Amino acid sequence: MPKRAAGVSLPFLQPETGGGEPLHRQLYERLKQAILSGALAPRSRLPSTRTLAHELGVSRGTVEGAFTQLDAEGFLERRVGSGSVVALPEHARLPRSTTAAPVRRSGTLARPGLSRRGQRLARAVLPPEPRDVQPFTPCLPALDLFPTHLWGRALAKHARHLGPGLMTAGESAGFQPLREAIAAHLGTARGVRCGWRQVLVLSSTQQALDLCARLLLDEGERVWLEEPGYLGARAAFESAGARVCPVPVDAEGLRVDVGTARAPKARLAYVTPSHQYPLGVTLSLPRRLALLEWARAARAWIVEDDYDSEFRYATRPLAAIQGLDVAGRVLYAGTFNKVMFPSLRLAFLVVPDALVEPFTAARAATDGHAPLLSQAAMAHFMEAGHYAAHLRQMRLAYAERRDALLDALRREAEGWLRPGAAEAGMHVTAFLASGGRDADVVQRTDTKRLGARRLSPLYLGRGAEQGLVLGFSGASPAGLRAAVRTLSRLRG
Amino acid sequence: MPKRAAGVSLPFLQPETGGGEPLHRQLYERLKQAILSGALAPRSRLPSTRTLAHELGVSRGTVEGAFTQLDAEGFLERRVGSGSVVALPEHARLPRSTTAAPVRRSGTLARPGLSRRGQRLARAVLPPEPRDVQPFTPCLPALDLFPTHLWGRALAKHARHLGPGLMTAGESAGFQPLREAIAAHLGTARGVRCGWRQVLVLSSTQQALDLCARLLLDEGERVWLEEPGYLGARAAFESAGARVCPVPVDAEGLRVDVGTARAPKARLAYVTPSHQYPLGVTLSLPRRLALLEWARAARAWIVEDDYDSEFRYATRPLAAIQGLDVAGRVLYAGTFNKVMFPSLRLAFLVVPDALVEPFTAARAATDGHAPLLSQAAMAHFMEAGHYAAHLRQMRLAYAERRDALLDALRREAEGWLRPGAAEAGMHVTAFLASGGRDADVVQRTDTKRLGARRLSPLYLGRGAEQGLVLGFSGASPAGLRAAVRTLSRLRG
C-alpha cells in the first residue's frame, strides 16, 4: 500500500508558484479553508508532511510550516508517530449551509444592515471634490502657482528633526502654535475676535459642519440653509437628522426676514456671508445684524462658513459676522484646503468660549486630532509670512483670471450666460439667460472635461434657477478663454 | 469755533502704538465697537479725517483707511464736503442690553446649548493619549528606534514633486497604492482575506469605531463590549447612543456564551481577539467560531480591533477573525499610529464588500479623506519594505523590553504585582495581588511620571479588578527596570 493511503487525498492543495504568497502560507490557507468548509471532516487524518511534500512537489519545510501554524491555531492535532488529525471540534463549527457558500461576501447577501442614521449618512449627496484639474472646477486653487518649494521646505524642516514632541499624540484641539497663528491671522484679516484657545484645528470644513451638526442639533430640529446653497452643509445637517429649511438669498444675501417667518425656532443657521455659495453675493450689514439678533433671541447658533473670503477683488471684504457677535452664538469655519491645496486636509473652527471644551472632547471621541507634522509645517508657513504672501499673490492672480473669464463670457456668451456677483471668491455663477436646462449644457460639455457644475441641484425647494457654477481660480487666463469658447460652441 | 466742534469727541479712540495691529485697523475696530455698542449714536457726525488725525496724533492716511473700511461696511455715510455720519439704521441694531454686555462671551452665559447627542459626545471618557513619553505609557512605540531618516526621505520624495496628482482632493476611501499595500500586508501577516477595495484608509482606530457606531447602530441598540475593555470603543458606542453590554473575559478571551445569554440580539460585538485590551489574552479558536456563528445568526456585526497584533513574542499569532468569516459580518480595524508613531494619523478599516460604498460615503460626509502626502509616503514606506523591516525590528526590541519588565516585576514586586498574559502586544496588565486600590498606587506615583494606568476604570460593571496597565514598548530595558524600582519603592 503506497504511503499516501495513510491520509486523505488533497489534490486541491497544489500551491501556485510564482504568486505573491509564500508556498507554506498558501498551503496553510487552503488547508484551513478546507477544514472550515467541511471538505476536510473532523478527525480525518492528513498525510505525513513527507508524503504531502512529495505529492505536491514542494519542500518538506513548506508543509511543516503550514502544519505548525495550523497546529498553533487548533486546526490540527499532531502526535509524534501517528501523524496529523483535523482537530476542529464539531460544536464550534459553522453550520454547513453557510460554510458551503462561496467566500465572496456581498453578492448574494441581502442589503447590508445599516442603521437608520447610517442610511442617511450613506445617502448624503456631496459636491464633487476638486479631483480633476479642469478649467472651471470650482474651489480648485492655482496649483501651478503654489510655492511647492517653500511648503516642501517647511515640511522637511520638521520631518528631519522629528522628535518625541512631534511624534507623540497631539492635542485634540490642535497644535498650539498653529492655533495661535490662525487666531492672529483671522483677527487682522477677517475681523474675527478670538483667543487662540477658541481655535480648533480640523481636517476640513466638512468635519466642522459634521461636528456642529452632531454637537448642536438633535434629530428633527430645524436648520436654516441658504437657497441655493452648499451641498456639503446640507449633507452634514441632513445626515444628522436635522430638518433643513431653505431660506432664499437675494442681492443682499440671506433673507433673514423669510427665515424668521418660516422657521423662527430653528436651532441653527448656516451662512456664507462674505461670498454666498453659489451666488456670490455678500450678506449686507443690516442683514448680518438681523441674523445675530434672531440667533440671540432664539438661542440659535450661526455657523459662518468663510470658505473663500480671502479673495476679494473690488472692495475690502466685510469683516466676519463673528466679529460682530456679542452674544456668543457664532461658530466661524475656514479652511486651508482651498487656499493651499485640497489634499492638505487642514481647516479650522472658531467657537465661543463655552463650546471649546465640548468640541475638543467630541473631536477626541470621533477621530482624535490632525497630523502633527502638517500642523507644525502650516504654523511655520504662516509665521514665516509665506501664507500672507501666497494669499496676496493669489488675490492678484485670481483677479486676473476672473477678469479673463468675465471678459470671455461677455464676448462669447453674451445673452446666453449672465454672470452673477463676481467681486470675490474663486468662482462665478452664470445664469442661463436665454432659457434651457443646465443639465443639458453640462451633459453636452461632459466629454470636453471643462469642469462646469450645475446650479439647479443646489436648490432644495422649488423654483430652481438654471445656470453654471464656473470656477476660475484653477486655470490660466488663456485656459479660461479657450474653455469659454468651447462652452459656447457647444451651446446647443 | 475750533474745527473739532464739527463732530463728536472721540477720546477713547486713541490707538496704541507698538501693538501688533496697524493703527488704521485699531481705529476701525474701536469705531465699529463704539457704533455697535451705542456709544456713537446713529446719525451723529464724526470729525473730519484731518481733525481726527490731528487729535489722535496719527497720520491722516490712518484715519482715512479706517473710515473707508467703515464706509464699505455700512457703518458710516460719507458725503463730500459734509463729512461722515454714523449710518447704522436703528432697526438693525442689537438691543441695548446685549450690546452693552462685555464682549467676553462665555463667562456670564448659561450652559451652552448642546444637543442631547452633543452632550453625550462631550461627556465621552477617552483613554489618555500617549502624549508624554513616560516609561509605562501604554501604546507608545519606541520613538527612539523609529527610522526617522527613512520616513523623512519617503515624505520628502513626494513633497518635492508635489504635483496636481497629490495636491487635488484624494479619494474618500483612500489613496489606491496605500490601500493595495495594506491589503497585501494584511493578507500575509494577519490572514485577512480582502481585496484592496475593501480597505478604507482612516485617521485612527477611533475614527473607525465612530464610523462603525454611526453606520451600524441606532440609538438604544445593544453592543457587546469586552469587560474589562477599551475605553475608546466604549466612548464611541455610548456617544452614538448605543447601550453597552459588558461581556466578561477569561483566559480564552470573550465569554461568547455569556454574551449570547445576556444580549442575544445585540447589533454589534467589539473585540480585541489577538491581544485583548487590557488583559492580554488571546481569543481561542472555538470562541472565535462561536462568535462568528452568533453574528451570522443574529445578523450582528463584529468589529475586530487588531490594534497591536503585529507584536507577538512566544508563538505565531492566530490569524484574524476576519479571515474565518464567511458570512460577511466582520469589520477589521488596524492602525499605523501605534506601529509608526502616534501623531501620524493613519489607520484602516477592512469592511465586507457590501459596506464599502456606505462607509466611503460616510467618510466623505464626515471629514472627507486623509491627507494625500502622508498616504503616499506610507505606501512608499510599505512598498520599499521599510514597514516590514521596522515591524521585525520592533518585535525584537519589544520582546527584550517585555522580558526586562517581567524580570524586574518578578524581582522587585513579587507578591505585590502579578503580571497577566504577556505573549504579545505593547503592554502587560499587572494585578494588585496583595490587595489595595490601583487609584492609590497611581496617585502615589503621579509625581514620578511613570505613566502607569489604572486597570479598574476599564471595567464597566461591578467586580472591577485592581491593577496597573504597564506599557513596555516606549522605554529602554534599563528605563523599565528603573521605573519598576521606583514603583515598588512607592508601594505604600
Per-residue HEC secondary structure of chain B comes to: CCHHHHCCCCHHHCCCCCCCCCHHHHHHHHHHHHHHHCCCCCCCEECCHHHHHHHHCCCHHHHHHHHHHHHHCCCEEEECCCEEEECCCHHHCCCHHHHCCCCCCCCCCCCCCCCHHHHHHHHCCCCCCCCCCCCCCCCCCCHHHCCHHHHHHHHHHHHHCCCHHHHCCCCCCCCHHHHHHHHHHHHHHHCCCCCHHHEEEECCHHHHHHHHHHHHCCCCCEEEEEECCCHHHHHHHHHCCCEEEEEEEECCEECHHHHHHHCCCCCEEEECCCCCCCCCCCCCHHHHHHHHHHHHHHCCEEEEECCCCCCECCCCCCCCHHHHCCCCCEEEEEECCCCCCCCCCCEEEECCHHHHHHHHHHHHHHCCCCCHHHHHHHHHHHHCCHHHHHHHHHHHHHHHHHHHHHHHHHHHHCCCEEECCCCECCEEEEEECCCCCHHHHHHHHHHHCCCCEECHHHCCCCCCCCEEEEECCCCCHHHHHHHHHHHHHCCC
- Enumerate the residues of chain A whose CB falls inside 8 A of the CB of residue B315: 72
Give the three cell numbers for residue B121: 459626545
Cβ within 8 Å, pair A361-B106:
no
Chain B nearest-CA residue for A372: B343
- Enumerate the residues of chain B whose CB falls inside 8 A of the CB of residue A123: 361
Measure CB to CB from residue A289 to each of B22, B92, B365 and give the nearest one.
B92
Measure CB to CB from residue B118 to each of A171, A215, A352 and give the nearest one.
A215
Taking a C-beta distance cutoff of 8 angstroms, is the pair B313, B402 a contact? yes
- The C-alpha atoms of residue A200 and residue A378 are separated, in whole angstroms, by 14
Tell me which residue of B214, B489, B160, B153 sits closest to B349, measured CA to CA. Answer: B214
Cβ within 8 Å, pair B167-A184:
no
Cβ within 8 Å, pair A343-B373:
yes
CA of A272, closest CA in chain B: separation in Å?
Answer: 16
Tell me which residue of A341, A129, A282 sits closest to B360, measured CA to CA. Answer: A129
Give the three cell numbers for residue A490: 457647444
Give the pLDDT score at B110: 38
Cβ within 8 Å, pair A106-B151:
no
CA of B173, closest CA in chain A: separation in Å?
Answer: 13
Cβ within 8 Å, pair B115-A236:
no
CA of B181, closest CA in chain A: separation in Å?
Answer: 12
- Enumerate the residues of chain B whose CB falls inside 8 A of the CB of residue A239: 362, 365-366
How would residue A9 be classed by pLDDT, with cut points 50, 70 and 90?
Answer: low
Give the pLDDT score at A109: 36
Contacts of A110 (CB under 8 A, 6+ apart): none
Tell me which residue of B410, B371, B400, B374 sits closest to B142, measured CA to CA. Answer: B400
Taking a C-beta distance cutoff of 8 angstroms, is the pair A433, A468 a contact? no
Cβ within 8 Å, pair A206-B366:
yes
Contacts of B2 (CB under 8 A, 6+ apart): none
Cβ within 8 Å, pair A25-B188:
yes
- Enumerate the residues of chain B whose CB falls inside 8 A of the CB of residue A121: 214-215, 358, 361-362, 365-366
Q: Lowest mean pLDDT: which of A297-301, B124-128, B273-277, B477-481?
A: B124-128
Give the pLDDT score at A213: 97
Give the pLDDT score at A396: 95
B99: pLDDT strictly greater than 80 = no
- Enumerate the residues of chain B whose CB falls inside 8 A of the CB of residue A191: 29
CA of B1, closest CA in chain A: separation in Å?
Answer: 36
For A384-404, what is the HEC assignment? CCHHHHHHHHHHHHHHHHHHH
Chain A nearest-CA residue for B102: A326
B52: pLDDT strictly greater than 90 = no
The two beta strands, A253-254 and A268-271, are unpaired
Cβ within 8 Å, pair B129-A368:
yes
Helix (H) or strand (E) holding A222: strand A222-227
Per-residue pLDDT reduced to its tens digit, B188-216: 899 999 999 999 999 999 999 999 999 99
How would residue B15 be classed by pLDDT, with cut points 50, 70 and 90?
Answer: low
Give the pLDDT score at B216: 97
B37: pLDDT strictly greater than 70 = no
Taking a C-beta distance cutoff of 8 angstroms, is the pair A232, A205 a contact? yes
Cβ within 8 Å, pair A369-B115:
no
Give the three cell numbers for residue A437: 436646462
Chain B nearest-CA residue for A242: B115
Give the pLDDT score at A100: 32
| Pairs of CB atoms within 8 A across A/B | 396
- Enumerate the residues of chain B whose CB falls inside 8 A of the CB of residue A170: 131, 343
Measure CB to CB from residue A131 to each of B168, B202, B342 and give the nearest one.
B168
Q: Give the length of chain A.
A: 492
A217: pLDDT strictly greater than 80 = yes
Give the three cell numbers for residue B131: 502624549
Cβ within 8 Å, pair A367-B319:
no
Cβ within 8 Å, pair A170-B343:
yes
Q: What angle do CA A374, B22, A180 make, to 5 degrees?
A: 25
A94: pLDDT strictly greater than 90 = no
CA of B307, closest CA in chain A: separation in Å?
Answer: 15
Per-residue pLDDT reduced to its tens digit, B245-263: 999 999 999 999 999 999 9
Taking a C-beta distance cutoff of 8 angstroms, is the pair A228, A464 a contact? yes
Cβ within 8 Å, pair B105-A353:
yes
B97: pLDDT strictly greater than 60 = no
Cβ within 8 Å, pair A316-B239:
no
Comparing A249 with B110, the larger pLDDT belongs to A249
Q: Give the length of chain B.
A: 492
Give me chain A's average pLDDT, please.
88
Can you list the alpha helix ranges (DSSP code H) found in A145-217? 148-160, 164-167, 176-190, 205-216
Per-residue pLDDT reduced to its tens digit, B270-315: 999 999 999 999 999 999 999 999 999 999 999 999 998 889 998 7
The mean pLDDT value for B420-445 works out to: 94
- Enumerate the residues of chain A whose CB falls inside 8 A of the CB of residue B135: none
Identify any residues that bridge with B332 across adjacent strands, giving them in sequence order.
B304, B350
Give the three cell numbers for residue B109: 452665559
Amino acid at B151: W
Chain A nearest-CA residue for B320: A73
Give the three cell numbers for residue B387: 514597514
CA of B335, closest CA in chain A: separation in Å?
Answer: 12
Measure CB to CB from residue A215 to each of B115, B129, B366 and give the nearest one.
B115
Which residue matches cell numbers 464597566? B460
Cβ within 8 Å, pair B326-A107:
no
Cβ within 8 Å, pair B156-A156:
yes
SS3 A245: strand
Chain A nearest-CA residue for B114: A216
Cβ within 8 Å, pair A92-B319:
no
**DSSP symbol at A152:** H
CA of A32, closest CA in chain B: separation in Å?
Answer: 9
Taking a C-beta distance cutoff of 8 angstroms, is the pair B86, B75 a contact? yes
- Enumerate the residues of chain B whose CB falls inside 8 A of the CB of residue A140: 168
Sheet holding B427-432, edge to edge: B417-419, B427-432, B467-471, B453-454
The mean pLDDT value for B31-41 works out to: 72
B91: pLDDT strictly greater than 90 = no
- The C-alpha atoms of residue B109 and residue B115 are separated, in whole angstroms, by 17
Measure CB to CB from residue A365 to each of B112, B124, B216 and give the nearest one.
B124
- Enumerate the residues of chain B whose CB falls inside 8 A of the CB of residue A197: none
- The C-alpha atoms of residue B136 and residue B480 are separated, in whole angstroms, by 8
Per-residue pLDDT reduced to its tens digit, A443-463: 998 889 999 999 999 999 888
Chain A nearest-CA residue for B355: A112
- The C-alpha atoms of residue A337 and residue B368 are separated, in whole angstroms, by 11
- The C-alpha atoms of residue B403 and residue B392 are separated, in whole angstroms, by 17
**DSSP symbol at A262:** H
How would residue A72 be classed by pLDDT, with cut points 50, 70 and 90?
Answer: confident
Above pLDDT 90, what percent of chain A? 68
Give the pLDDT score at B78: 83
Taking a C-beta distance cutoff of 8 angstroms, is the pair B327, A98 a contact? yes
Identify any residues that bridge with A245 across adjacent strands, giving them in sequence order.
A224
CA of B435, closest CA in chain A: separation in Å?
Answer: 33
Cβ within 8 Å, pair B124-A75:
no
- The C-alpha atoms of residue B26 and residue A156 are separated, in whole angstroms, by 37
B265: pLDDT strictly greater than 80 = yes
**Neighbour count for residue A85 (Cβ, 10 Å):** 15
- Enumerate the residues of chain B whose CB falls inside 8 A of the CB of residue A95: 293, 296
Contacts of B234 (CB under 8 A, 6+ apart): B125, B225, B244, B460
Give the pLDDT score at A452: 95
Cβ within 8 Å, pair A361-B121:
yes
Give the pLDDT score at B66: 87
Per-residue pLDDT reduced to its tens digit, A172-183: 999 999 999 999
Domains along the sequence of chain B with CATH: 3-99 (1.10.10.10), 122-131+146-388 (3.40.640.10), 390-489 (3.90.1150.10)
SS3 A301: strand
The mean pLDDT value for A401-421 works out to: 97
Cβ within 8 Å, pair A143-B169:
no
- The C-alpha atoms of residue B169 and residue B188 are separated, in whole angstroms, by 31
Cβ within 8 Å, pair B216-A105:
no
How would residue B453 be classed by pLDDT, with cut points 50, 70 and 90?
Answer: very high
